[in-house]
Amino acid sequence: MARDILGRALQNLHGLLQMPYGCGEQNIAVLSPNIYILQYLENTEQLTSEIREKAIGYLKNGYQRQLNYENSEDGSYTTFSHGEGNTWLTAFVLRTFGKAQRYIFIELEKIERSKRWLMHHQQTDGCYKSKGKLFNNRMKGGVSDSVTISAYITASLLELNMSVTDPVVSKGLLCLKRYVGDISNTYTTALLAYTFSLAGDSLTRDHLLKKIMDIGISEGSQLHWTQMGSSDDSGSLAVEISSYVLLAVLTTDSVTTADLGYANRIVSWLVKQQNAYGGFSSTQDTVVALQALSLYATKVFSSDGSSTVTVQSAGDSHSFDVNLDNKLLYQEKKLNNVPGKYSIEVKGSTCVSVQISLFYNILSPIERSTLSIYTKTEGVCDDSNGQILDIRFSIVYTGSQPTTNMVIVDIKLLSGFIADPYSIDSLKSAALVNRVESKNDHVIMYLQEVQQNFPVLYRLRTKQILSVENLKPAVIKVYDYYQTSDGSERKYFNHCLKNTGR
CB 132 within 8 A of CB 92: no
Mean of all residue pLDDT scores within the chain = 86
pLDDT of residue 231: 53
Decide: helix, strand or coil at residue 3: coil
**324-343 in b/e burial notation, b at 16+ Cβ within 10 A?**
eeebbbbeeeeeeeeeeeee
207 three-state secondary structure:
helix
**Residues 153, 118 contacting (CB under 8 angstroms):** yes
Strands 433-439 and 417-419 come out as: unpaired
| 76 confidence band (pLDDT: 50, 70, 90) | very high
- 3-state SS class at 452: strand
Q: 96 with 89: CB under 8 angstroms?
A: no
pLDDT digits (tens, 9 = 90+) for 422-473: 999 999 999 999 999 998 899 999 999 999 999 999 999 999 988 888 889 9
**pLDDT band at residue 499 using 50, 70 and 90 as cut-offs:** very low
Q: How far apart are CA 219 and CA 134, in angstroms?
A: 31
> Could you report how far apart the first and last alpha carbons of the chain are, in Å?
48
H, E, C per residue of 4-32? CCCHHHHHCCCCCCCCCCCCHHHHHHHHH
Instruction: Name, in order, each residue with C-beta under 8 angstroms of 368's C-beta and a sequence gap of 6 or more.
Output: none
**Which of 385, 356, 387 has its CA nearest to residue 462?**
387
Question: What average pLDDT score do residues 384-409 get?
Answer: 90
Is the pLDDT score of 181 beyond 60? Answer: yes
Nearest-5° Cα angle at 108, 106 to 112? 130
Spatial separation of the C-alpha atoms in residues 147 and 296, rounded to whole Å: 27
Q: Is the pLDDT of residue 143 over 70?
A: no
Closest CA to 187 of 90, 115, 295, 88: 88
Angstrom distances, CA of residue 71 to CA of 28, 67, 68, 354, 496: 15, 9, 8, 44, 48
Sorted by sequence, the CB contacts under 8 Å of residue 159 that are 6+ apart come out as: 95, 98, 99, 198
Q: What are phi and psi of 84, to 5 degrees?
A: -75, 160
Instruction: Tell me the sheet residues that pair with 406.
Output: none
* Burial tier of 220 (Cβ tally within 10 Å: 0-12, 13-18, 19+): exposed
pLDDT in tens, 25-59: 888 888 898 999 899 889 888 888 988 998 899 89
Could you write out the DSSP letters of every residue in 270-296?
A: HHHT--TTS--SSHHHHHHHHHHHHHH
pTM: 0.81
502 pLDDT exceeds 50? no
Q: Which residue has the higher pLDDT, 387 or 230?
A: 387
Radius of gyration, CA atoms only, the chain: 24
User: What is the number of other CB atoms lying within 10 angstroms of the CB of residue 382?
Assistant: 8
Q: How many other CB atoms sit within 10 Å of the CB of residue 152?
A: 23
Let me know: does 6 contact 37? Beta carbons within 8 Å.
yes
Paired strand residues for 307 = 322, 348
Give the residue among 129, 130, 149 at the shortest CA–CA distance from 139.
149
pLDDT of residue 176: 96
CA distance 399 to 452: 7
